[in-house]
Amino acid sequence: MDIAKFIDHSILRPNHTLKDLEEQVRQCIELGVYAVCVNPFWVRRAVETSGGRLVVCSVVSFPFGLDTKEQKVMQAVRALEDGASELDIVLNISALKSGMYGYVEEELKAIARNTEGVVRKVIIETAYLSEEEKRLAVELIADTGMAFVKTSTGYAPSGATEEDIKLLIDLSRGRLKIKASGGIRTRAQVLRFLELGAERIGTSSTFEILGED
């Protein structure tokens, strides 16, 4: 299986330099990786470096999701203006856990209204949520027209697990695709998550994974 075409390669660490970004984008092109996922600051440069040869995805409100609704909308719109064609949006986890479901729903709807026509993935940070909160998150995301639910930013205590992928697929009932992300460092993990039904893999260990025999 050509797993490169399922990978969103993460270039999100705060100490990444412009040189790191350009080198990793070029490596991803050579390896046939599907997308690079970058911070808003680097979207335009990633688009210029890629020259349309791979998808550029921007994170929104990364990694905590605690910007205001208006800030998230502005950030998402600006990322698209800079050339991003996909968005990985961090859910307001604190609002969800506080029972502010109406706010979470309106935030997602506001982003959706202003970013039609692009692939949008919503990061729910599974490590912080109970099973019931995961169910509520999936319902809110599915009802607002997003394409994917994503497990993790990679900055929580744990990332993607087999149990969560199975659960999210079950809860989504075909309404959302699943992006497994967080702690994925081996080809075996990638293959297992794809086997379970994930349709996209987020990892910063792309080159190590694709370099495995």
Which are the catalytic amino acids?
Answer: 88, 150, 179
DSSP calls for 161-206: -HHHHHHHHHHHTTSSEEEEESS--SHHHHHHHHHHT--EEEES-H
Q: How far apart are CA 202 and CA 6, in angstroms?
A: 9
Token pair recorded at residue 185: 């460092």
Q: How far apart are CA 104 and CA 101, in angstroms?
A: 5
DSSP calls for 100-144: -HHHHHHHHHHHHHHSTTSEEEEE--GGG--HHHHHHHHHHHHTT
Q: How far apart are CA 75 and CA 38, in angstroms?
A: 13
Cα within 13 Å of Cα(192), Cβ side? 14
CB 42 within 8 A of CB 22: no
3-state secondary structure of 2: coil
3-state secondary structure of 9: strand
